[in-house]
Amino acid sequence: MTTCSATDVDQMTSNERGARPVHDENPLLDYLGIGLVRWGPGKSEFRIAVEARHLNRAGNLQGGVIATILDAACGYAGLWSDAESAPGNAVTTMLTVSYLAKANVGILTATGRVTKAGRKLYFASGELIDASGTLIAIASGTFMHQRPR
């Protein structure tokens, strides 16, 4: 079982894979402007700078964008491999998102952490916060490792 706390994510240091777009691995995240900031065993961190294209008709961050960044944070948290190996792939089998506050400007940070891992499945939770620390949304999900092709 792999676990980490919010403090672990805060203490994560950027690594060779950190602070970069993920367009080679996930074109959708690149298109939305979602970048991988930190990644380590059982945890990940993504950021997005909210732009007009991310807003819904009411002028708030669209729920699908929130779900996408939280799905990425939770999913990538279970895919870390050492610096010599390529990361694996997984599919989301379940994702639950709770929307807690509105956001419409600024930089948002999504953190994901593995809460339990097995041979085929892993479970992860995540949170999305704004620059002032306001909790925008939380998520929990189940992910299935994919076999290499």
Residues in the chain: 149
Task: Specify the residue for token string 């379940």.
Answer: 94
Using alpha carbons, select from 109, 111, 70 the residue that is nearest to residue 92: 70
Report how far residue 51's alpha carbon sits from residue 49's, in angstroms, rounded to the nearest whole number. Answer: 6
**Structural Rg of the chain based on CA atoms:** 14
pLDDT in tens, 58-115: 999 999 999 999 999 999 999 986 666 677 789 999 999 999 999 999 999 999 999 9
pLDDT digits (tens, 9 = 90+) for 8-58: 434 443 433 333 455 467 899 999 999 999 999 999 999 999 999 999 999
